[in-house]
Amino acid sequence: MKYVLMFVETEAFAKELEAMSALELEAAYDAVGRWFAEHSDKITHHTRLDPMHTATTVRLGGGEPVVTDGPFVEGKEVVSGFAEIEVADLDEALKMVSTWPACPLLEIRPFS
């Protein structure tokens, strides 16, 4: 099965990152790097997205599309990156993400 893992940063998590010292931040990024290395046999592609202020949101439906600068989502959460994985099933994907060392929210969605 193929899944996309969407890494979602919360406002609280962003504040935690901002409060970290350079050494703590380096350790956090090292943990993420180790996670990707440990699962490299299942990850087919991954990337971190540019900061949310670079986003453009398009709302469709009800006439002309409405284009807005920035991530105009309904909550205080924003997708910050993604990884495509190929695993046997959802259980394996869940086991894999249970060790994710960074942002506190991930969405797992199958794709073809």
* pTM of structure: 0.81
Token pair of 53, please? Answer: 């202020």
Residue 13 near residue 101 (C-beta atoms within 8 A): no
For residue range 1-48, list pLDDT tens digits in order: 999 999 988 888 989 999 999 999 999 999 999 999 999 999 999 998
Class of domain 2-110: alpha beta
Q: What are the backbone angles phi and psi of residue 9, rounded to the nearest 5°?
A: -95, 135
List the domain boundaries for the chain.
2-110
**Nearest residue to 6 (alpha-carbon basis) of 49, 44, 36, 41:** 49
Distance of CA 45 to the CA centre of its chain: 13
For residue range 57-69, list pLDDT tens digits in order: 777 888 888 877 7
What separation, in Å, do the N-terminal and C-terminal C-alpha atoms of the chain show? 8
